[in-house]
Amino acid sequence: MISDFKGKTAVLTGAGSGFGLECARIGAARGMNLVLVDVQQDALDAAQAEMEKAGAQVLARKVDVSDAAQMEALAEAVKARFGAPHFVFNNAGVGSGGLVWENSVADWEWVLGVDLWGVIHGVRLFVPMMLEAAAKDPQWRGHVTNTASMAGLLTPPNMGIYNAAKAAVVSLTETMYQDLRLVTDQIGASLLCPYFVPTGIAASDRNKPGSLASEKPTRSQLIGKAMSEKAVGSGKVTAAEVAQNVFHAIENDQFYVYSHPKALGNVKSRMENIVAGVNPADPFLERPEIGQNLRAALRGI
């Protein structure tokens, strides 16, 4: 756990909007050095200007987190400027919906690249750096937070790529927690599983690579996008509130971080069915109208 953030360094991917930007704001207010990472240059520039105005030392880099070489260059730049980071927030994410058999190879590569490989690169590059710093100083403390989703704990229909990516992040992060416990008591880990929170993820299309951006969406993808935009846009919990939860978890060595604890009823139902060997239930069990509306839209009722 980290109790004093002043002078510590945070690496934040997806820092131009949503949870990344809000965590950067908290970090700046607490006197942290900030490494801001985003693929969208204008959002990155705005975040950098805001954090520097707030008095933070900032290293801003436009990086595609799915690209190993770009992430390796980022890690080298971070080490040269600030040394080992104390907080790594592997947060960059994109969303894509549609019936699972309708997604193209390019769809799969894009979402898995950002949502899963981005986390993998963040872990493989920064954790060894953090372990090295911890070995040199018994007082050194660090923390890694990976952003998954409630979709990583549930299996909502018509968003299979996203579910698969986030489920992998859940497994990766739980395993990372166990692996860290084997080798050190100085580095903590958290898994962020937000539900519907107003962030930029519903507009992920803005950052699609050129070849994918030109693909014509299927009917199920259009329906999924519209429903996602409505659900995310109507969310009552803000990204700023979730960011506060992220920092609370760092301070208290808390692993699971949720935006909507009431949604865990759906997770409980799923786990009980798995143990009982019962066929999967409606993942929106507590909000059955969601599944009913989706079914009606897809069947043209």
Q: Which residues are annotated as catalytic? A: 162
Torsion of CA 297, 284, 102, 98, to 10 degrees: 70
d(CA 253, CA 236): 26
Token reading at 167: 């489920």
Using an 8 Å Cβ cutoff, are 103 and 96 in contact? yes
Q: What one-character DSSP code corresponds to residue 60?
A: E
Q: In this structure, how many other beta carbons lie within 10 angstroms of the beta carbon of residue 246?
A: 23
Pairing label, strands 187-193, 33-38: unpaired
Residue with tokens 């403390």: 141
Using an 8 Å Cβ cutoff, are 55 and 78 in contact? no
Token reading at 132: 């090295």
